Amino acid sequence: MSDEDILRPAQELIQVFQRAKKSLRMYPANNPVYSKTIEDAFRRTDAFLLEYGDLELKFRQSEILLGEQVVYQSQDKEDNFAFFFFKDGVRELVFRRGLSSGELGEFLRAISFDFERDGEEEDIVTLLWERDFEHIKYVIDENFLLEDNVYEDQAIAHAKGEGADEPELKRIYGEILKDEGGPLQPEVAPVTKADLLELLKELERDSTSKLPKLTGMLFDFFRDAGPSECAEPVDLMIEVFEYCIKKDDLRSAVGLLSKASGPVAGAPDAALVKKELGRLFEFASSQKIVGMLGERLDTGEMFEAVFEEYVRHLDKSAVPSFISILGELKTIEARKRIINALVFLGGKDIQALVKGLSDPRWYVVRNIIYILRQIKDRSVIEYLVKTARHQDVRVRMEVLRAFGEFEGPGVLPALREALDDPEASIRMMAVRALGKLMSEPAKGIIVSRINGKGFIDLDFNEKKEYFEVLANWGGQETEEFLLRMLRTGSFFRKNKVAELRACAAYGLGLLGSRSALEHLEKLKKAKNRLLSDYSYRAIKRIEYGQQPGH
């Protein structure tokens, strides 16, 4: 394959690198755009390497070459991708097959680093060298790198001209080893609190790249600390954790919790270790931290997987903090994440969770009920029964949904009472909840209501709800009851009676009762349009399995 065949794909890939370099400077690492930029760049690079093989680029001051062909050219000194590498001595760059997403991500992060903004004196060569890539190779102009090393050159020349010769150096070194009993071992000074505080200050001035190193030092210090000293490193861990949250770096904060969750090898007192590290988890569960994360969740820029991992490290003490911010969040997506967190944590402390039922904000109470439904702990029924008379319709509706999912002491009386609620939507939801329970006592309540005084005066759709729910029970007894209702006749209030018979026809259709066909055939010609229509629909459903209304 000639260079001309891959000229355009190579040009396009260089443009991908340029755009990635700009995007990664603009967005923080926890922004979805940041991750998507790296993913897209890797997808394009991987496709190129699979189709064309290794990509070998050569750099000049204003050009990038692929073989002998120019694939990039710019005279602009401010935004010149070729000059960016050339000025630091990079002369060749090779991307080889087998390149991983992680490697390319590190490469893009390196070339997007803003030395001027962050006050760094390093260069791109140093950053590439620190990564120690396996599938990215580069060639450096050594003469370029040595231009400013005048002192080093002079020192080397001096050593060559005036220093001891090699045999003499070996003799002296040998005598030293003999006297000392072996190779010299450097004395390592222990890490002090002052060292860690200084590193924390440096962290404030620097990027987050030192966080893993700082975390490791904190745990080294923790292991070495005596009983009276182990509180200090935990204090620092708390400071680092808060720093991470303020910098929108939840991933590093979770890494700290993860390390604190594991065993601290070498710690002298396990009970003391657990107690002190517990302060870190208490802080991570505090309203201060949860509130800060809530604000971040509202922006929609926090990765769900990282937040879920954070929640998994918390214990029941976090429940009040999450309930507190539930009513302050502005977006539905943020509330969903907090609700999911409370479903996970609430099971560890039901009592803390049910306290949210007394919150003055109706939407908080409704969400707490939803969470209790997901946990499915029957011990919460007594608290839900007390909430069944809440002043807000939406709360009462959520309680009835919960009642339809698990039966317990007080549920049936509460549902029977809800059948008399002033709101029709609540009454109909209570009927459905009874139907979901599928118990004989629940069926008894439905039948009793249909036979009761005043039922005939209900709105047609509300009456129809009773018959639809009753049909779900099925069975001979239910079929006979519906047939009796279908044959009901009266010279008084004919329209209301017709509505009742239409509801019975509807129920028989749902039941698939073939024994009702003879009666339904007669009623499909009834003068009352509603009764005629529902009888006809029931016949169609029984004979052909069609849904009512089709």
Residue-wise pLDDT tens digits, 424-467: 999 999 999 999 998 999 999 999 999 998 999 999 999 999 99
What is the three-class DSSP state of 230? coil
Question: Which phi and psi angles does 2 have, rounded to 5°?
Answer: -80, 165
Residue 338 in this model has a pLDDT that exceeds 90: yes
Rounded to whole angstroms, the Cα distance separating 158 from 118 reads 37
Q: To which H or E segment does residue 336 belong? A: helix 332-346
Between 78 and 103, the more confident residue is 103
Answer with the one of 145, 162, 191 that is the final residue of a domain: 145
* Residues 168, 52 within the same domain: no
Residue 140 in this model has a pLDDT that exceeds 50: yes
Q: What local confidence, expressed as pLDDT, does residue 222 receive?
A: 64
Q: What local confidence, expressed as pLDDT, does residue 319 receive?
A: 93
Residue 548 in this model has a pLDDT that exceeds 70: no
Q: What local confidence, expressed as pLDDT, does residue 185 receive?
A: 42
List the structure tokens of 211: 């966080």
Residue-wise pLDDT tens digits, 240-258: 899 888 888 898 899 889 8
Residue 96 in this model has a pLDDT that exceeds 90: yes
Report the chain's mean pLDDT, rounded to a whole number. 82
Which pairs count as long-range contacts for 183-192, CB under 8 Å and 24+ apart, including other chains? 190/224, 191/217, 191/220, 191/221, 191/224
Neighbours of 283 (CB within 10 A): 16
Between 187 and 496, the more confident residue is 496
Between 358 and 265, the more confident residue is 358
* Residues 131, 25 within the same domain: yes
**Residue 385 domain-assigned (yes or no):** yes
Residue-wise pLDDT tens digits, 141-151: 766 544 444 43
Q: What local confidence, expressed as pLDDT, does residue 431 receive?
A: 96
* Residues 123, 15 within the same domain: yes
Q: What's the rounded mean pLDDT across residues 346-370?
A: 92
Answer with the one of 160, 180, 200 that is the final residue of a domain: 180
What is the three-class DSSP state of 70? strand
With bands split at pLDDT 50, 70 and 90, how would you rate the model's confidence at 154?
A: very low
Q: What local confidence, expressed as pLDDT, does residue 172 receive?
A: 45
Q: What local confidence, expressed as pLDDT, does residue 13 receive?
A: 93
Residue-wise pLDDT tens digits, 78-93: 778 898 888 888 999 9
* Residues 510, 405 within the same domain: no
Q: What local confidence, expressed as pLDDT, does residue 460 receive?
A: 94
* Residues 431, 473 within the same domain: no
Residue 110 in this model has a pLDDT that exceeds 80: yes
* Residues 433, 402 within the same domain: yes
Q: What local confidence, expressed as pLDDT, does residue 494 receive?
A: 87
* Residues 89, 11 within the same domain: yes
**Residue 255 domain-assigned (yes or no):** no
* Residues 45, 88 within the same domain: yes
Query: Over pLDDT 70: what percentage of the chain?
Result: 78
The lowest-confidence range among 48-52, 114-118, 379-383 is 114-118
- Cβ(215)–Cβ(259) under 8 Å? yes
The lowest-confidence range among 274-283, 361-370, 475-484, 528-537 is 274-283
**Residue 216 domain-assigned (yes or no):** no
**Residue 491 domain-assigned (yes or no):** yes
**Residue 110 domain-assigned (yes or no):** yes
The lowest-confidence range among 103-117, 213-227, 525-539 is 213-227
**Residue 514 domain-assigned (yes or no):** yes
* Residues 76, 106 within the same domain: yes
Q: Residue 169: give the domain boundaries.
A: 150-180
Q: Which of 480, 409, 419 is nearest to 446 (CA)?
A: 419
Residue 510 in this model has a pLDDT that exceeds 60: yes
**The total number of structural domains that make up the chain:** 4
- Cβ(98)–Cβ(35) under 8 Å? no
Between 113 and 527, the more confident residue is 527
* Residues 410, 500 within the same domain: no
Q: Which of 78-82, 181-185, 390-394 has the highest mean pLDDT?
A: 390-394
Question: At what angle are helices 32-52 and 7-26 packed, to 10 degrees?
Answer: 160
Q: What local confidence, expressed as pLDDT, does residue 161 receive?
A: 47
Q: What local confidence, expressed as pLDDT, does residue 390 receive?
A: 94
Q: What's the rounded mean pLDDT across residues 87-112?
A: 90
Residue 195 in this model has a pLDDT that exceeds 80: no
Between 49 and 174, the more confident residue is 49
* Residues 364, 413 within the same domain: yes
* Residues 426, 534 within the same domain: no
Between 53 and 114, the more confident residue is 53
Q: What's the rounded mean pLDDT across residues 519-544?
A: 91
Rounded to whole angstroms, the Cα distance separating 199 from 239 reads 12
**Residue 288 domain-assigned (yes or no):** no
Answer with the one of 145, 167, 195 that is the final residue of a domain: 145
The CATH number of the domain holding residue 384 is: 1.25.10.10
Question: Which residues, 6 or more positions from 367, have their beta carbon under 8 angstroms from its beta carbon?
Answer: 326, 335, 339, 356
**Residue 174 domain-assigned (yes or no):** yes
Q: What local confidence, expressed as pLDDT, does residue 156 receive?
A: 43
Q: What local confidence, expressed as pLDDT, does residue 276 receive?
A: 81
Q: What local confidence, expressed as pLDDT, does residue 532 receive?
A: 94
User: What pairs with residue 73 in β-bridges?
Assistant: 63
List the structure tokens of 198: 């200084």
Q: What's the rounded mean pLDDT across residues 85-104?
A: 90
